[in-house]
Amino acid sequence: MTVLPNLSEHYSDPKTYPPGVAFMDGQYLPISEAKISVLDYGLLHSDATYDVVHVWNGAFFRLENHLDRFFAGLEKLHMSIEYDREQVIEILHNCVALSGLKNSYVEFICTRGMSPTFSRDPRDAVNQFIAFAIPFGSVANQEQMKHGLHAAISSFVRIPPNSVDPTVKNYHWLDLVRGLYEAYDRGADTAILVDTNGNVSEGPGFNIFAVIDGRVLTPKLGVLLGVTRQTVFDICTNLDNDCSAVDIPQDQLLVADEVFISSTAGGIMPVTKVNGQYIGDGSPGQITSQITESYWDMHNEKNNKFVIKYLDEK
């Protein structure tokens, strides 16, 4: 294993940064020192792919699924990194171990990078791999987890899949951020974007589910195939609930019995109001609560391979 620097004393700048550790240019750094070039096309063109996995109680959750998605994305974008899968696992592990965080949000990124001649030909750029571990973060705060989020269905359309492949996790977020500001103006907490046919798509950092007549439904097309979304399918299979990927017209969401969102950043989160109207009786629904409970129970089924060895435990 690589010799790790001792970053525990100064792994962040508490005034401007969360605690955390990054890996870039082959080195582990305090998060406050991890900076990319202004000439990196990851910044200039949003030309990048990434993934986020979380660590809960000192163990990665579904790391294999996140790695599968990341490496598939690299291939689709004609990118390559100098680390293989096992080396990426070791880097992610080290970032978390160095940070000492038991619950962590772990992001790994490949940017197109830059070329010494500032060539506009993407094939000339040297792709760059970056990873970091910071404290676990959630789309919903504690209050929203308990009582549910208020979501506004946006008038903006999520960037269509024939423009940007949504199965490659990406930083094309201007539509999502635009949706957020529109939602705040309407007094909501977050936004639900629609697709070009007016069906529900996804929101800023999450997939969307509606429970209608006992069936758990989620949009089929034009969305990131979320790892948490897949976990919901798996949970529904275990619970004998019907879960299907279908088109969901936006009007159906307003009359759904339950609505929830899913993300690595927060897990399963209830939505109890859409466009100012209560969903069901206005409190998190029974199926949502069951799925949430199963989701967190699954975190105790430890896959030993992905339990973090923290530096103070060695």
Contacting residue, 95, 140, 152, 224, with ligand PLP by CB under 6 A: 224
Q: What amino acid is encoded at 37 in this protein?
A: S
Contacting residue, 226, 280, 284, 285, with ligand PLP by CB under 6 A: 226
Helix (H, G, I), strand (E, B) or coil at 75: helix
Segment 264 to 293, residues that bind ligand PLP, using CB under 6 A: 264
State how far the Cα of 133 lies from the Cα of 152, in Å rounded to an integer.
31
218 binds ligand PLP (CB under 6 A): no
107 binds ligand PLP (CB under 6 A): no
At 259, phi and psi to the nearest 5?
-135, 140
Contacting residue, 32, 94, 128, 228, with ligand PLP by CB under 6 A: 228
Segment 13 to 72, residues that bind ligand PLP, using CB under 6 A: 52
Kindly calculate the radius of gyration of the chain based on its CA atoms and give it in whole angstroms: 20
Size of the site for ligand PLP (CB under 6 A): 13
State how far the Cα of 291 lies from the Cα of 303, in Å rounded to an integer.
21
**By CB neighbour count within 10 A (0-12 exposed, 13-18 middle, 19+ buried), where does 311 fall?**
middle
- The region of 38-46, 87-95, 205-213, 275-283 touching ligand PLP under the rule CB under 6 A is 205-213
Residue nearest to ligand PLP (CB): 226
195 binds ligand PLP (CB under 6 A): no
- Angle among Cα 224, 228, 229 to the nearest 5 degrees reads 60
Contacting residue, 202, 258, 271, 308, with ligand PLP by CB under 6 A: 202
Handedness of CA 144, 298, 215, 165 (dihedral sign): positive
Here the tokens at position 295 are 């989701």
Considering beta carbons, is residue 188 or 227 the nearer one to ligand PLP?
Answer: 227
Binding site for ligand PLP (CB under 6 A): 52, 202, 205-207, 224, 226-229, 262-264
